[in-house]
Amino acid sequence: MSRSPGHQQHPEHKVRESRAEGRMSVNVNGLVVADSRNAVKLDEDGHPPRFYFPREDVKMEFLERSDTTTECPFKGHASYFDLHNGGQTIKDAVWSYETPYDEHLGIKKMLAFDESKSAGIQIRSLP
């Protein structure tokens, strides 16, 4: 894609990617929708840590792409997904940077789950 305008204009703002330690899981109302040993932890100044999961470790049948998009000056253009679980739909509960800026290619096409969208979404570290 290209270099991040956010990082160029605000070099003091830190966005750090690292491999999540061990196995990470996402449960939605008791149903496991993601389970991975290859998740990426993203720490960004002013935001809670986020975990990005490879698509092959996510049960994609529970996700449906929504029309919502956002732009982050540090990471790039985000696309969103609704999460369907047992008759419940959680709007825009998951997002992905399909074409992130060059500084964040480590999260390209990976999926992050927004725990603030529902008390039923739980991201956990497993043994």
Ordered by where they begin, the domains of the chain are 5-126 (2.170.150.40)
Q: Is 112 exposed, middle or buried (0-12, 13-18, 19+ CB in 10 A)?
A: buried
The per-residue pLDDT string of the chain (127 residues; one tens digit each, 9 = 90 and over) reads: 699 999 999 999 999 999 999 999 999 988 999 999 999 999 999 999 999 999 999 999 999 999 999 999 999 999 999 999 878 899 999 999 999 999 999 999 999 999 999 988 999 998 7
Q: What beta strand segments (E) does 9-120 contain?
A: 15-19, 23-28, 31-36, 40-44, 50-53, 63-72, 76-85, 88-100, 111-113
Interatomic CA distance for residues 10 and 107, integer angstroms: 21
| Amino acid letter, 84 | H
